[in-house]
């Protein structure tokens, strides 16, 4: 084995160990870790904040710049999906409605 292979294997093993420790950190102690109430309340919103941080740029940006035209299939799809969600409060239906609006506009009309 050459040096590059050894370095690659060591890097993979190190990253795997770091990932394992980071994910198991809250399961290792025998008792619950003390946490202030404000932090516990704030952690309830962490998944929503992470999802928003991933989806929002994908909706309003194209190739690293803000969308310059309203003729983009993502905008009506997001609008319809949001309206459906506030009407029915169902995640699966929201996804279906968003894709049902997005796909014909994007594939059919080339938006």
Give tens-digit pLDDT for 54-66. 989 988 898 888 9
Which range among 22-31, 37-46, 91-100 shows the weakest confidence by mean pLDDT? 22-31
13 confidence band (pLDDT: 50, 70, 90): very high
What does the pLDDT read at residue 79?
A: 94
Distance, CA of 17 to CA of 99 (rounded, Å): 39
Distance, CA of 80 to CA of 83 (rounded, Å): 5
pLDDT of 10 strictly over 80: yes
Q: Phi and psi of 40, rounded to 5°?
A: -60, -45
Which residue ranges make up each domain of the chain?
1-33, 35-68, 69-111
What does the pLDDT read at residue 111?
A: 85
Q: Out of 22-36, 53-67, 81-95, give the one with best mean pLDDT.
A: 81-95
């Amino acid at each position: 084995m050459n040096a590059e292979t050894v370095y690659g294997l060591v890097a993979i093993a190190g990253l795997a160990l770091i990932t394992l420790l980071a994910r198991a950190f809250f399961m290792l102690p025998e008792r619950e870790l003390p946490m202030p109430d404000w932090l516990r309340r704030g952690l309830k919103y962490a998944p929503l904040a992470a999802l928003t941080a991933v989806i929002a740029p994908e909706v309003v940006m194209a190739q690293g710049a803000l969308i310059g035209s309203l003729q983009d299939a993502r905008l009506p799809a997001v609008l319809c999906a949001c309206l459906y969600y506030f009407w029915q409060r169902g995640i699966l239906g929201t996804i279906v409605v968003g894709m049902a609006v997005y796909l014909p506009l994007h594939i059919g009309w080339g938006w």
